[in-house]
Amino acid sequence: MKKLLFNAKIPLLIIIVIVLLAILADALAALTGNDPYTYHLDLLNSDGVPLTGPTLQHWFGVEPTTGRDLFAIVTFGARTSLIVGLGATILSIIIGVIVGLFAGYHGGKLDIFLSQITNLVLLFPALIFMIALSGVVPDWFPRILLLILIIGCFGWGGIARVVRNESLRLKNEEFIVAAKVMGVKNRHIIFRHILPNLMKTVLIFTTISVPAMIGSEAALSFLGVGITAPTPSWGRSIAEAINWIYVDPWFLIFPAIFLFAITLAFNVLGDKLGAKEL
């Protein structure tokens, strides 16, 4: 365990820092009296380009054409990314575990049916469908919830397949067979014996899922079908900043670094956990 913690120290640290930034976004922004919505046109020149880079007042500088505080945009954007990333991951894990468990443990026709659906979800051109779907959903539907639902509902294929294979294996382990022979009910076997044995797999998979989900949110927002303005989102900031790369590189650097850092950190953490456990 000590070795694991040491190996995973740096990614864990990064994740903790970003999570703290997201949780404390309001408080941190309040330190300098900023929020991600207030315009500061006096900090821009007549073409809408920021007059300065990072300052004591605006730690990451300000956004071109609006003068909004970039630090606040990045930290509030972290909140958006993490809520969507974790929300979608939890949703996909729940669906994936249930489907995988039933398919693997129950077997037979149900297994064939559920496995086919899993394959369908895995092969489905999810991004295109997400773009289409987020275009037709009515305005009053909360956007963050919509993204969690869309990304979560298309992300459970992998976990379902892994859980199915694991439960197939577990089903034939001696302790399960013994339990069955003793007349233990299926429900008891699933919840008391199989699920606890799946926990490690699920944990590793969760860690690897989170960055993928965060990436999906950023991709959708980048394409203009994710979180609606003015709610900060890294993906949208990056899409906007690309146009400003020659004039105001700060605008691209901060959201991009954060997106890169959190995806990398979760992936490395997942790898370390996997290497240790499997």
Phi (first) and psi of residue 69, to 5 degrees:
-65, 120
Locate 186 and state its tokens. 């299926």
- E strand or H helix at 10: helix 9-23
Listed residue (60, 68, 66) closest to 48, CA to CA:
66
Among 142, 172, 183, 246, which residue interacts with other proteins (rule: CB under 8 A)?
Answer: 246
- Interacting residues with other proteins between 200 and 239 (CB under 8 A): 222-225, 228-230, 239
- Is residue 66 close enough to count as binding other proteins by CB under 8 A? yes
Q: Give the nearer residue to other proteins in terms of CB position, either 81 or 134.
A: 134
Sole window of 21-29, 46-54, 87-95, 103-111 interacting with other proteins (rule: CB under 8 A): 46-54
Sole window of 36-44, 73-81, 173-181, 189-197 interacting with other proteins (rule: CB under 8 A): 36-44
CA distance 173 to 159: 21
Listed residue (273, 275, 274) closest to 8, CA to CA:
273
Listed residue (86, 120, 104, 70) closest to 257, CA to CA:
70
Sole window of 127-135, 173-181, 254-262, 270-278 interacting with other proteins (rule: CB under 8 A): 127-135
- Is residue 54 close enough to count as binding other proteins by CB under 8 A? no
Question: Any bridge partners for residue 50, and if so which?
Answer: 44
Give me the residues that bind other proteins (CB under 8 A), please: 37-39, 41, 44-49, 64-66, 127-128, 131, 135, 139, 222-225, 228-230, 239-240, 243-244, 246-247
